[in-house]
Structures are given as structure tokens and as C-alpha cells.
Amino acid sequence: MKHTPYILLLLLTILLSCRGQNQTNMEHKYTNALVNETSPYLLQHAHNPVDWNPWNEETLNKAKSENKLLLISIGYAACHWCHVMEHESFEDSLVAQVMNKNFINIKVDREERPDVDQVYMNAVQLMTGSGGWPLNAIALPDGRPVWGGTYFKKEQWINALEQISKLYQEKPEKLHEYADKLEEGIKSLDVVQLNTNEPIFEKNYIEDAVKHWSKQFDHSFGGPNRAPKFMMPNNYHFLLRYAYQNNDQELMDYVNLTLTKIAYGGVFDHVGGGFSRYSVDSKWHVPHFEKMLYDNAQLVSLYADAYLLTNNDLYKEVITKTLDYIKEEMTNSEGAFYSSLDADSTTPEGKLEEGAFYVWKKEALKSLLKDDFELFSDYYNINDFGFWEHDNYVLIRKDSDENIIEKYGLSLDALKEKKQNWKAILTKARNTRAKPRLDDKTLTSWNALMLKGYVDAYRVLGNEDYLASAEKNAHFILNKQLREDGGLNHNYKEGKSSINGYLEDYAATIDAFIALYEATLNPKWLNASRDFANYAFDHFFDDKSKLFFFTSNSDASLVSRSIEYRDNVIPGSNSIMAKNLFKLSHYFDNEHYSNTAMTMLNNVKPEMQEYPSGYSNWFDLMLNYTNPYYEVAVVGKDAKEKIKEFSKTYIPNKLIAGSTSDSNMPLLENRFTPEDTYIYVCVNKACKLPVTQVEHAINLIKK
């Protein structure tokens, strides 16, 4: 009998081993309804034992007919904690039993369905005070949420599901009562009242907001004085412009400090180029390692304008390296751009781990770089400043190239050669590692942001390849995402265009096409922008608030039809739209566009000073009203060349119209002469005498 514990332990080990084998074998047999989807995020869950369904009418009707609660889990392919919860809970057969028995389970890719994400994110923020992804919500069969949160550990998750299931079975009226109250709260979140006060936009209003905002500035590392730190490109685009137009050197120094520290930081991939999503610390060092298309797109545009203003070679390097990364890793043969790279990648031991592709061990770097290691380790801080965890280092800079050159007695060319050599060595070594997973779906809105990034880089650096990439992507949008009814689709994958477009798709595309028109003078892009604006008025405009709904009036209704107007990591679709209408009103002399843009800004104005960083794109529009705004019309055979020259000067308060032949556009009409090329500088339909030299035109503006 004294051997019984050992025998029992042995039997238990054998049983657990067999159970583990059976579970492993079972895992390969699980298939749910997501197997027919194209979203990489949904496909990642297609073999979970959970009976996942996509968000569609069939699934929603099933919940109603079976009178079952909906369990809605929302995430995206590059989301680290989404993967963690999948591994801990959604791949577990015991958890799946609880979920499958009591719920209709729906998986949502938030990037494909931002409308669904908005509804349940608003609900979770109301219930818990915070939000994030993974986003998990439980709703009544009619879709109205009753409970939610973000990441849950396995035990928490099971416990919560069982309690809610029990409550629904025993006291469903309690959940219905709560759903009624929560629905009211959700619908009130995005209600914008029509501001009937006269639209008055004054410089001191913006000045007060910037002063209030500046209390949150980090003057050591740039950005906000907190962690984590998001790049928020639209914030610094506005602050750059505001500092320039108001000769505010202190603010300009802060913006340049921020852009420098971001470029030095680990959030920028010093080996492969491109930016991660945000920094978990205050010095921009350790990123949340996923790379999103929208961040990189907007940062290219930001650094382009910053380079134009400062001629800082660091900014130029950031632009070129980022666009090299986009070309090599994020672009398909059709000229479309992929969505993201995952934060996680597989270690040599076969484990998915955040940042595994990007981090370095000191001994490995010594072995690779040999005699150059000392200089490299000083340049990229393979020391306490650059140390992360588990003997891993994330490359981060502290010193400028000038300081390194002086310290080591190098020439600038010698340092550049060394940096190129380091990059080649580390790229080769890194490419032996398992790459992060790619989310290869194409989203119209994010593509338009990247298209504009390419246009802005071309405008500033003059690289014709950048313009070619922009034009190819613009043709992709028109050829693949534009429907016969004049509307855009949101998603594209494997040759299939799908999902009716959201306001963000129209707003971003109009903005990008206007920029492309200014670079090429091809009226096709400007006319397409006008057509998309008119389509948005027909299908998205809210007559009560004079803003635009996020979803089309042809889409199936959700709990709430939201109005997205606050600026975030991407500017709010309404703020982009208002700026578009402001510009289009000038191009087409359209009073309706002009009045709408002004009304939209006036409606949002009462909120703007409370949280300026959440309204920076609206403040940028307000600058168009508080400072002179110039219409620059260039007409004649040399118009394109003169516009290229004009673009070498930072003038944020202007638009460009141009033609190399006769044109009936209001700004160009009756101004063409075959003999010479004239530049007209106009403000509020009043024009200076035309000049032939770009320098003279710029002087007219600067005076």
C-alpha cells in the first residue's frame, strides 16, 4: 500500500497525457463559421472550439429565434492581448463549452467593422470607465449590451459568463431594464447639438487652448508627460503649424523635441524602418510592437512638413526609411497597402512572444558587429538606457549624429557608411527569424491616409517613385473599391471588395485625392473628391446636427448611429470632412460646402478647449479662419514646374489650383495665356496682380 500514491500519480500522469493528446488532436478538428471569412483576425479564430460566428444578419436573427444572449468579442490581428486571451480562454474546450451552451458567439474584426466596435466600445466605457482590445461584451438577442470589459483571465471569464447566464435565465427583466438605461447612455454620447450662436473663430480662443494643453507637455522626451505615449500625428501637425504661424519658438522647440525623440526611440524600427503603435514608457523606448498602416501613413505626412520647415536630415531619413518599409512589407502588386504587422512573432522555441522579431541580445550583437560593437552600442545604447527585459535590448538613440561624430572623430560620410553596414548586417540576421504575422486585408480609409503620405513625401522630397506609388493606389481605389452607384467599399481582400464604406473612407479619400490633384494638376482627382463629398451628403449627413453620421443610411441599423467627431490616433472622420468641404468650397465656389464646414466647426467649438488634444484637427481648421487663407492659382504651360518650386516652402494656409491649358474651374477660368505662366495669389476672392516668379508669389503671401 505504501506505493499507492506513486501508482495513482503515474495513472494520473498517463490519463492527463492521453487527455492532452486527445485535446491536441481535437484542436485540429475544430472548425467554426469563421473559416469562410477573409479577415486574418477572424481566420485566426476559425479553429477555436468556440462556435464563433461573423457579425451578419443571419447570426443576429439566430440569437433572436433561439432567445440567446449574444457574446461579442472584438479585436484585430496585431493585438497582443487578443492573442493572449485567445490562448488562455478561446482555445480551451472547457471555456468553449460554457460559451457555446449559453451564447451566440460573434467574433468581430474592429478594423473591418469600426461601426460595431464603436457601439460596444462606448458601452464598455460607460460601464467600466475605460476601454481597449480585446473588447468583450454581452448583449441581449436584439444587440443591446448589458455587460462588458476588455481582457479577462480564464477563471474571471468563466465566472462572469456563468453569472450572467444565470441572471438571464432567472431574472431576465433585470438585464432588459439595464439595457434600456445603457442604450440611452450610448445614444447620448455622440449627440452634438446644433450651435445657433454666430460662428466666431478668434486667435485668443486657440491661444488659450494651447496654453491649457501645454501644461501636459514633457519637455525632456517630448509628447505628453505620461506613459504610455501614443504618437498622435495630428496633434503635432497642428502644433507645428500653430507655432510657425504665431512665431512661437518655445512651442516649435517642443514639437521638434517630440519629433526627434520619437525618431530616436524604439518606437521607430532602426533596422527595418517604420513605426510601432505606441511606447509603453515615457522615453519612446519600448513599443507595443505592432506596426499599423495608419500610424506610418500619418507620420510620413508629419515628418514631411517638419522637414520642409527645418531641413533636418533626421526627418528626411525617417521618411525614406518608413516608405522603404511600406514598399517592401506592406504593399501588394495592385498598389494597395496592407493593414498591419503583428506585435507577436515566434521565438526559436516556437512560442509566440511580443517583440521577438525586433529585440537583440548583447552577445548576439557583439558576434555580428565585431569591432564595430563599441561604436554601435554607444549609438544605439546597448546599456542600461536601452535595456528592456530578459536580457533583451531595444535599439534607442540619445545623441545626434553630430555628437557621435565629434566624440569618435568620424566624418559624416564615415558614420553614414557604418550605419548602412550595421543595417545590412542586422537585417540579414533578423530575416532568419520568424516574421510577425501580416494582416493583408486592405482598408480604403487607411490606404487613403498612406496615399496622402506618399503625396506629401513627393511634394517635399521630389521623389517621382513616391508620386507613382500614390497614383497607383488612387487608381486601385477607383478601380477596385468604387461601386457603380458612386459609393466606396471599405474592405478588400483576395480580389474581393466588400463592406459598405464608412464616413472615414470618404473623408480620407477626398483628402488624399485633393492632395494628389495639387501635386499633379489632374482634375480627375479633384472632381472625384467633389463626387464623394456629394455622395456623403446624400447618405451620411444629419440634418439635425449638421454633422455626418459614421454609417450610411443604407446600412443595417445598430444600437446607435454614431457621429464620430473627436480626434484620436486618426482624426475624427467629421473633422477631416469639414476640412475637405472648406477646401472644396474654394475650388468649386460652393457656398453650401463653405457654410457646412463653418457650421460643423461651430458645433464642436464648445467642447474644444476642455481637451484640446482631442480636437487638434478641428483647431487646424479653425486656423484657416483666424489667419488669411490663400488660393494660389498657377496657369500656363509651366504650371507644374512652378508648383514644384512653390512646394519647397512651408505654407500651411494655402491651397493650390493649376492648369497647363484652359479650364472652367472658378479659380482658373479666363486666366490661361499660351505665352506665359502666371501665378495668382488670392484671399476671399480678391487677388493680387499676377506674377510670373514663384519667389514673388511667396513674398506676397509672407507680407
Same domain, 173 and 293: no
Cis before residue 134, ω within 30 degrees of 0?
Answer: yes
Q: How many domains does the chain have?
A: 5
Tell whether 196 is covered by a domain.
no
User: What pLDDT was estimated at residue 299?
Assistant: 98
CB atoms within 10 A of CB 483: 11
339: pLDDT strictly greater than 60: yes
Q: Round to whole Å and give the CA distance between 377 and 387.
A: 11
Burial class (CB in 10 A: 0-12, 13-18, 19+), 38: middle
Tell whether 194 is covered by a domain.
no
Q: How confident is the model at residue 514 (pLDDT cuts 50, 70, 90)?
A: very high
Which of 189, 224, 254 is a domain's end point? 189
Residues 517-557: tens digit of each pLDDT: 999 999 999 999 999 999 999 999 999 999 999 999 999 99
Cβ atoms of 701 and 681 closer than 8 Å: yes
Which of 189, 222, 237 is a domain's end point? 189
User: What pLDDT was estimated at residue 7?
Assistant: 39
Q: Round to whole Å and give the CA distance between 579 and 37.
A: 36
CATH number at 229 reads 1.50.10.10
Q: H-helix or E-strand containing 31?
A: none
User: What pLDDT was estimated at residue 14?
Assistant: 35
Q: Round to whole Å and give the CA distance between 267 and 692.
A: 45
Give percent of the chain with pLDDT exceeding 70.
96
Same domain, 11 and 77: no
21: pLDDT strictly greater than 70: no
Tell whether 305 is covered by a domain.
yes
**Mean pLDDT within 677-692:** 92
Mean pLDDT of the chain: 94
Q: How confident is the model at residue 478 (pLDDT cuts 50, 70, 90)?
A: very high
Tell whether 570 is covered by a domain.
yes
**Mean pLDDT within 379-407:** 97
17: pLDDT strictly greater than 50: no
User: What pLDDT was estimated at residue 25?
Assistant: 38
Residues 444-469: tens digit of each pLDDT: 999 999 999 999 999 999 999 999 99
User: What pLDDT was estimated at residue 191?
Assistant: 80
Residues 50-67: tens digit of each pLDDT: 999 999 999 999 999 999
Cβ atoms of 558 and 115 closer than 8 Å: yes
Tell whether 353 is covered by a domain.
no
Q: How confident is the model at residue 15 (pLDDT cuts 50, 70, 90)?
A: very low
Q: How confident is the model at residue 95 (pLDDT cuts 50, 70, 90)?
A: very high
Q: Round to whole Å and give the CA distance between 190 and 174.
A: 26
**Mean pLDDT within 411-428:** 96
Which residues, at least 6 apart from 695, have a Cβ–Cβ distance to it below 8 Å?
A: none
Sign, Cα dihedral of 130, 289, 330, 346: negative
Same domain, 17 and 46: no
**Mean pLDDT within 11-22:** 39
Tell whether 527 is covered by a domain.
yes
Same domain, 471 and 546: yes
Residues 221-236: tens digit of each pLDDT: 999 999 999 999 999 9
Which of 563, 596, 626 is a domain's end point? 626
Residue type, 421: N
Tell whether 195 is covered by a domain.
no
Which residues, at least 6 apart from 428, have a Cβ–Cβ distance to it below 8 Å?
A: none
Residues 181-201: tens digit of each pLDDT: 999 998 888 788 899 999 999
Cβ atoms of 635 and 672 closer than 8 Å: yes
5: pLDDT strictly greater than 60: no
**Mean pLDDT within 249-254:** 98
User: What pLDDT was estimated at residue 12?
Assistant: 37
Same domain, 140 and 224: no
Phi, psi values for residue 631, rounded to 5°: -100, 120
Q: Round to whole Å and give the CA distance between 37 and 33.
A: 8
Give the largest CA-CA distance in the chain: 111
- Classify strands 678-683 and 686-687 as parallel, antiparallel or unpaired: antiparallel
19: pLDDT strictly greater than 60: no
Q: Of residues 120 and 4, which shows the higher confidence score?
A: 120
Tell whether 351 is covered by a domain.
no
Of 461, 121, 443, the closest CA to residue 323 belongs to 461
Same domain, 551 and 644: no
* Cell numbers representing residue 331 in the block: 504593399
Q: Round to whole Å and give the CA distance between 396 and 105.
A: 43
User: What pLDDT was estimated at residue 130?
Assistant: 87
Same domain, 324 and 364: no
* Cell numbers representing residue 546 in the block: 449638421
300: pLDDT strictly greater than 80: yes
Same domain, 43 and 163: yes
Q: How confident is the model at residue 24 (pLDDT cuts 50, 70, 90)?
A: very low
Same domain, 137 and 257: no
Which residues, at least 6 apart from 606, have a Cβ–Cβ distance to it below 8 Å?
A: 195
User: What pLDDT was estimated at residue 1?
Assistant: 37
Same domain, 426 and 445: no
Same domain, 455 and 581: yes
Same domain, 131 and 215: no
User: What pLDDT was estimated at residue 561?
Assistant: 92
* pTM (2 d.p.): 0.93
Question: Range of 170's domain?
Answer: 31-189
